[in-house]
Every structure is written in structure tokens, then in C-alpha cells.
Amino acid sequence: MTDGHVKRPSLLAVLTVDSLSDFHFSQNGSCFIPKCGGYSKSPSLSLLFGAKACRIDLSIQGAFQRQFAVIVDAATTIAQFEKVIISTSGSSIWGDCYENVGSDSYIFGLKRMGQSTCFRCISLLLKTPNVLQSLHQNESICHDTISEAKQACFDTSIIGPGDGTFLYRSEAVESVSCGLEGTFSFTYNRLNHPNTTCGTESLAKVSNCEQSDTLNFDFRNCSFPHFEQKLQCLGTWQDKDTGRFVAFYNPELRQHRCGKLVPNKAGSALSISDDANCDRMPAALEKYTLFEKNTTYSFAPCRFPEWIQGEYDGLSVRHEHMRHHLSNAPALTSVCVEVDNEKILVFSETSCGEPLGYHCLWFRSRSNSVLEYRTTAVSAQSMDMCRHESDFNASAWTTLVSRSPRRTPCAYFGTYSTPKEMRTVDCYNMTVDCATRDKFKLIAYHCSTGAVYDVRSYDCYGTWKEDEHLFVYTKTDDSLAENTCMISQQQNDLLYMAILGNHCNRKFNFSENADSTLVFRRDDECTKKLRAVAASPESHETTTSGVRRFAPKMREKAPGSDGRASSTTPVPTSSAAMGRGCFMITLLFFGVMILL
């Protein structure tokens, strides 16, 4: 970002993954620091300037609808909505923004005629590009000063995913998936009308094949007359359990609804509330049980190995099926054909039944919570593509993280800082939590003044070494919990580190990317005897994260006993500020599409 014509680096800047640019499905879009594409939080101006300035993050600005009342009669429930405008410096209902508090809370002040300004602390968490979670004290409560309002701020780290009220974007709505791809049959019942049902013998079905962001419900042969209903998807977010909240908009009724999708042995259970709040899902008005269609194949499907099965961000592996449901890309289903240790031959088709063909998937487990895979090209007939590793060269590794991950050691222990001889403009500190060893913090500040302008915390979920590079896969320790791959390399007493984005680019070169490289020297270890712990298949324990323990032995070497990646490859020896520019992220969706 630029402020006063001075470019500020960001710890969330990412690099273009050139090796993925040839794939058809990319996440492109406008570039906003500190993240290119998608949505992300930027450093607060109070950190940048040390002043009590307030600037509302771009990702949560716009026009929204908020439920403010519910009218209930004997037959129906009618939710009433009001328009909410959030701008750079204020809100139409809470007033001007006076101060940022942490990364997700703001002090607003509403000026009142004949009375003092009403200050409130409002926490705004971005759950999807179209949904904001809002938490604050009762709106009848006002504070006379900013300092009093700050005392009423919520600790956003303990806020439940269904708590508070929700704001639904009503203009410039982004097209997103509901997490249901393809065609399903369903049963249906309504809480306040026990005779309003669709049984297993009905012909009721739901599909998103016409439009990926819209569910088309066809209530046929039910206990009530046939009718159809469309629900627009506004996005999903994870609940505390295995379920996911789903936000819907009914364009015919102009009503927003909150739902919850929970996978089960029979299929999936979908509950939809009678209003826009998400805190009463157990008593939801409408209940659906969704069943996947039965498909006949020319081969006998096998089962994916236990160490692969689980629920990941954007992908689900159960029994003989692997389903991809990444945003901004067609949903795919891959069926297991043959297993050869880490390599699995599959047959893939779209979730709406369009066949693609055979291809081979090569999996590598990096921890109990992190999995990587790459693919060969698609073939309509050939089933021998798992035999040659060279067939995978056109595909980069895609990284998957369990939906309920478990932290692992970070491989960096102690405190690190920019070497004294390199402290010119921008300096950095890295501190690893010595008590748990599974999280670390990066701090960016001006070398001359010591003024901090960016702070980011990361939780570690997987560590592995390839050649001279050490990879650490993390999630940001904030409300977005963004997946981030770190690459590092040790040369003498210097540690070189860069942030790659969602996937771990093997073609990254420190010498060619000096402007995106952080250089550290270790100042102190947690203890003299403390040693880095690398990810090892023999050390993994059974986990309840939804990803099973893996069996095959990895071929990579483990990191050195001192936690550093040894190297003989020259790397930059000058300090370089990270994130000088904002690069576009090209995300790999699924390599089977490269020939389509």
C-alpha cells in the first residue's frame, strides 16, 4: 500500500506461482495489499503511524442487509431487514470510525443532537466475501469516551462461528459456492408443519448444475403441491464441529437465511433457519437429508487409503470418492480405480455427470493435517499413467489442510532478527513460542525509529525438507485463518525466508526474489538443548482432526538436528524488504483440466 508516497511492505505479500499459470482455473482479481486477489486484512493505520487513526478495511466495505426484527404469526415468520453502508471511515448505523482495536474491532461514534457522542466497540469478522459477522453490546448501551468503549470490545478469538448478528452483502455480490456440487435427491420436513414432508419415495431433487452459485430445489411428489425454489449462495464458513454454516438469499422473497451443512453416513444434512441469524440452528425451521446419485462404472471402484481419507479445505476424500469443491472452479468427483502406494489411478467427472477420463494422483503426507498431491494429464482410455514419475512434471504440488488441523512443531525455535549490518530501512523480528513450539510471530518495523507497522502470528501444521529448502505450512492466527506456505534456507549463520501463499512453489529462487525475502540471524534459542523437530511419518500419532495417520514412507530428508536447512546454493546477502509489490496469486485448482 502507499501512504504519503512511501511504499510499506506487508508480511502477507505473496508471490506469483509461475509454474501454475498454464492451468485454466485461476483466482485472479484486483490487487489490494496485503493480499493479491480474494480478501484479506491490512495493517491498521494506528500501527502504521502510531496515531489514533481509523481506517475500515476494504474487504468489509460496501452495502449490506441486516436483520433488525422478526414478525411471527401462526403461519409464517417474516424477517425485516435494514440497509447498512460501511465506508472507509464510518457506518450508516454506528457513525464515524474513531479507532482500530486489534485486527477486527473498531470504535464508532454516533453524534446525537443535544447529547454527547455515543461510542461503541463493534467487532466485524469477514466470514465469506459476502457475509460479515457483527458483535457488540446491546445497541441501547452508549459510552461517553473512546477509552470506555474499548473496554467493551469482545475477544474475537473466542467468538463462536454462529454468534452475533450477520450482515449480508446486497451490492457487488461475489459468486461463490454453497459446498454442494451436482445433483442430489432429498427428504424434507418442516418443524412447524409436521405434515409438510418429502419422503424417500418422492422425486424431490436439488442441483447447482445450471448455475454454480445457485441451488435449484424441485419439490416433486411430496405431501404438498409441486413447486420449485431457488436459493443463491453467499458462501460457507466452518463451525466448531464438522459442519459448515451456509448463507442463502431467496431472490423471490428477498430474504436472507442462515443454514448449516453437516456430512453424515447417509449423505449430508442441511438445516435452514427461518431468519438470518445463525445461533439457533438446532431448532432450524427446515430440515433436508441429501443423497448423492448412484453411478455405475465400467470398473470396480477401490477405496482410497486410510491415510488420505478425511475432510480438507476444498476437498473431501471418503471411501472410493474424492470430491473437489474449490471456489471459482467447477466441482469434480474422482473415483478410485487402482492404488499403488502413494500413486492412485482415478477416473474423474464433473459433479453434474460429464466424464473427463483417467489420470493418476500422486499424494504425499506432510503431517497429520497437511497433504500434498499432483496429477498427470487426463486420458480417455489409458490406465498406465501411474508408472512414470516424468508424467507428473507438468503439474505443481497442491497443498491441502484438514478442516480441523492439529498444530505441529515449526522447525524454527528461539528469536531471530534482521542482522545488524543489514538494518537500513525495514527490519524484522521472528519469535517462536518456546512453550508450545508450534506458533511464531513476525514483526515488521522501521529500522531507524523502531516503529512497528505490521504484526502477524502463524500456527504451524506441517514441516518438511526438500533438497536445501525447508517448508513450513501455516495458518494465520486471526479470524480468516488463511493458509500460508513458508520456504526457508540456511546459509552459514543466516536464515532466508519467504512467504509463498497457499501452495508451496518448488521453483522459488531466493537470489531472483530478493525483494520478497526476509533475512534473519538467530539471537537466542529456547534452550541450548532444544532441537528442531521435522515432520516424520514414524512419529505421527492417531489424530481426531479428520485426517488419518499416513503409512507410506516419505523420500525427503529430515531437517538437520539444529533445525536449519543446510545449503551450498548461494542466496542473497543483502537485506530485502518483503512485499515491495503486490503480485497476483495463481492458484492450482486441479491439474486434470490442463488439456481441456
Across residues 214-221, what is the average pLDDT? 94
- Categorize the per-residue pLDDT at 361 as very low, low, confident or very high, splitting at 50, 70 and 90: very high
What are the start-end ranges of the E strands in 129-254?
A: 131-135, 165-169, 183-190, 193-198, 205-207, 214-219, 227-238, 244-250
pTM: 0.62
DSSP one-letter string for 103-136: TTEEEEEE--TTS--EEEEEEEEEEETTEEEEE-
Between CA 125 and CA 81 the distance in angstroms is: 20
CA 549 to chain centre: 23
What is the spatial distance between Cα 350 and Cα 355, in angstroms, rounded to a whole number? 6
Beta bridge partners of 457: 441
Q: How many angstroms separate the CA atoms of 128 and 38, rounded? A: 10
414-418: long-range pairs with CB below 8 Å, 24+ = 414/522, 414/523, 414/524, 414/525, 414/526, 414/530, 415/522, 415/523, 415/524, 416/495, 416/520, 416/521, 416/522, 416/523, 417/520, 417/521, 417/523, 418/447, 418/518, 418/519, 418/520, 418/521, 418/575
483-510 pLDDT tens trace = 999 999 999 899 999 999 899 999 999 9
pLDDT at residue 446, rounded to an integer: 93
Give yes or no for residue 189 having a pLDDT over 70: yes
Structure confidence at residue 345 as a pLDDT band (50, 70, 90): very high
Mean pLDDT of the region 227-249: 92
Cell numbers representing residue 273 in the block: 433457519
Cis peptide before 34 (omega within 30 of 0): yes
Mean pLDDT calculated for residue range 79-93: 93
Strand partners, 310: 317
Collapse the DSSP code of 549 into the 3-class scheme (helix H, G, I; strand E, B; otherwise coil) and give the result: coil
Q: Which of 329, 369, 324 has the alpha carbon at shortest distance from 483? A: 369
Give the contacts of 192 (CB within 8 A, at least 6 positions apart).
285
How many Cβ atoms from other residues are within 10 Å of residue 18's Cβ? 12
Quote the CA–CA distance of 38 and 482 in Å, as a whole number.
11
Distance CA 361, CA 548 (A): 18
SS3 state at 421: helix
- Indicate the SS3 state at residue 74: coil
In 3-state terms, the chain is what percent helix, strand and coil (to 5)? 5, 40, 50
Mean pLDDT within 433-455: 90
Tallying the residues shown for the chain, one arrives at: 596
Grid coordinates of 118: 455515543
Which residues is 206 bridged to in the sheet? 184, 217
- CB of 375 within 8 A of CB of 356? no
- Give the model's pLDDT for residue 233: 95
Report d(CA 16, CA 582) in Å as an integer. Answer: 9
Mean pLDDT taken over the chain: 78
**Cα–Cα dist 321/302, whole Å:** 9
> Which residues, other chains included, contact 556 with Cβ-Cβ below 8 Å and sequence gap of 6+?
464, 465, 466
pLDDT band at 559 (very low <50, low <70, confident <90, very high): very low
pLDDT for 526 equals 73
Cα–Cα distance, 459 to 473 (Å, whole number):
8
Residue that is written with C-alpha cell 510499506 in the block: 8
Q: Supply 162's cell numbers.
A: 454462529
For residue range 133-167, list pLDDT tens digits in order. Answer: 999 888 788 999 999 999 999 888 888 889 999 99
Do 486 and 471 touch, CB atoms closer than 8 A?
Answer: yes
Residue ranges of the alpha helices (H) in 275-374? none
> What cell was used for 200?
424417500
- DSSP of 471-519, one letter per residue? EEEEEESSSS--EEEEEEEEETTEEEEEEEESS--TT--TGGGGGG-EE
Q: Which comes out higher in pLDDT, residue 45 or 129?
A: 129
Give the gyration radius of the chain's Cα atoms.
25
- The pLDDT score that the predictor gives to residue 482 is 84
* CA separation for the pair 585, 579 (Å, rounded): 13
User: pLDDT-based confidence at 76, cuts 50/70/90?
Assistant: low
Q: What are phi and psi of 515, to 5 degrees?
A: -70, -15
Q: Are 232 and 246 in contact, with CB atoms under 8 Å apart?
A: no
Three-state secondary structure readout of 314-335: CEEEECCEEEECCCCCCCEEEE
pLDDT at 584 over 70: no
The set of cell numbers assigned to 111 is 453524534
Residue 73's pLDDT band (boundaries 50, 70, 90)? low
DSSP per-residue letters across 508-547: --TGGGGGG-EEEEEEE-S-TT-------GGGPPP-SSSS
DSSP state of 193: E
| Whether the predicted pLDDT of 567 surpasses 70 | no
Residue 586's pLDDT band, with cuts at 50, 70 and 90, is very low
- Residue 8 pLDDT > 80: no
> For residues 199 and 593, which has the higher predicted lDDT (pLDDT)?
199
Q: Looking at 30-44, 125-139, 278-292, 422-436, which range is the least confident one?
A: 30-44
